[in-house]
Amino acid sequence: MLDKLGTPLPDSSGLSSVRLLPLELRNLSLDIGGRGLIEGVDLYLEDPSLTVIMGPNGAGKSLLLRLMHGLIAPTGGAILWAGVPINAQIRRHQAMVFQKPVLLRRTALANITHALWLRGVPRGRRIPRATQALQLAGLMQHAFTHARVLSGGEQQRLCLARALSLDPDILFLDEPTASLDPASTLAIERLLIEAHHHGTKVILVTHDVGQARRLAHEIIFMHHGRVVEHQPALRFFQQPESIAGRAFIAGDLVL
């Protein structure tokens, strides 16, 4: 087995590989207090390309990501990973990076070993794997720094390093660079491309059109809780089919 960090690794998590794709969303809806936040979403993601979910604020992008990852339960419809509804076993092969870095009050290294502990990686393998992830993210010099005194960009890189140390098959990211400067954004994007090259399916939420252009293989464009377009990135950027999509790419204010 080749792990996503690019070096041969014994099957350290003790997990047999599970096929997760295709991901299928059937008539998915989420109602909170009578408001339809996600309405009748049908999606079929079968290849491991880099998928970007775009749309204005309040379109339901983050909610859709959380529904896919199983952090919230839909009020209607179904989410199927290779035909199976999400369960603990499936989530073990996924990881998520949030918009605001969530880091424990521990050192950078301990943040990663803690995640590995939660995923059941044996004690002796945690530090080597965590070290490897820190190196990949260029954070080795901060291994023993308290995670919460790192800069915003470093914190988000650490979150990504933690996610990648889990060797996920699916990696969800919810606007990970929304509050980062260009240098930090570039570092994150490089890591994402690298992870994708090593076989991780990346599903990224952003409302940064430039980022979508740089990274996306396919685009899911959302508006008012619905999926308005699902296209290969090239086609979406050249000739978007929806009015909202056209306006969004053109930089108009989409309400």
Partner 1 sequence: MSGSIDLDGTLRQIIILYPQLIEIVGLSLRVTLTAVAIATIIGFAIGGILAVSRFPGSSALIAIMNALMGLPPVIAGLVVYLMLSASGPIGVLQLLYTPTAMIIAQTLLVLPIVTTLTCRTCQDLLEEYREQLHSLGASSAAIVQTLLWDGRYRLVTPVLAGIGRAIAEVGAVMIVGGNIDHVTRTMTTAIALETSKGNLTLAIALGIILLVIALAINVVLMWMGKLPSHFANA
Which listed residue (16, 83, 105, 210) binds partner 1 by CB under 8 A?
A: 105
Torsional sign, CA 148, 153, 158, 159: positive
| 71 part of the interface to partner 1, by CB under 8 A | yes
Torsional sign, CA 1, 91, 80, 159: negative
Tell me whether residue 101 is exposed, middle or buried, using C-beta atoms within 10 angstroms of its C-beta: 0 to 12, 13 to 18, 19 or more: buried
Q: What are phi and psi of 252, to 5 degrees?
A: -70, 165
| 198 part of the interface to partner 1, by CB under 8 A | no
Nearer to partner 1, 71 or 143 (CB): 71
Minimum CB separation from partner 1 for residue 71, in Å?
6
Which listed residue (28, 96, 139, 215) binds partner 1 by CB under 8 A?
A: 96
| 20 part of the interface to partner 1, by CB under 8 A | no
| 149 part of the interface to partner 1, by CB under 8 A | yes
| 146 part of the interface to partner 1, by CB under 8 A | yes
Select from 89-97, 128-136, 200-208, 229-237 the region that touches partner 1 (CB under 8 A). Answer: 89-97
Query: How far is residue 159's CA from residue 154's CA, in Å, rounded to a whole number?
Result: 9
Nearer to partner 1, 201 or 226 (CB): 201
Select from 10-18, 141-149, 183-191, 235-243 the region that touches partner 1 (CB under 8 A). Answer: 141-149
- What 8-state DSSP symbol labels residue 5? T
| 125 part of the interface to partner 1, by CB under 8 A | no
**Number of helical (H) and strand (E) elements in the chain, helices listed first:** 9, 10
Query: How far is residue 214's CA from residue 158's CA, in Å, rounded to a whole number?
Result: 22
Phi/psi region, residue 9 (left: phi>0; alpha: psi -120 to 50; beta: rest), is beta
Contact residues toward partner 1 (CB under 8 A) are: 66, 69, 71, 88, 91-92, 94-96, 98, 102, 104-106, 114-115, 117-119, 146, 148-149, 166
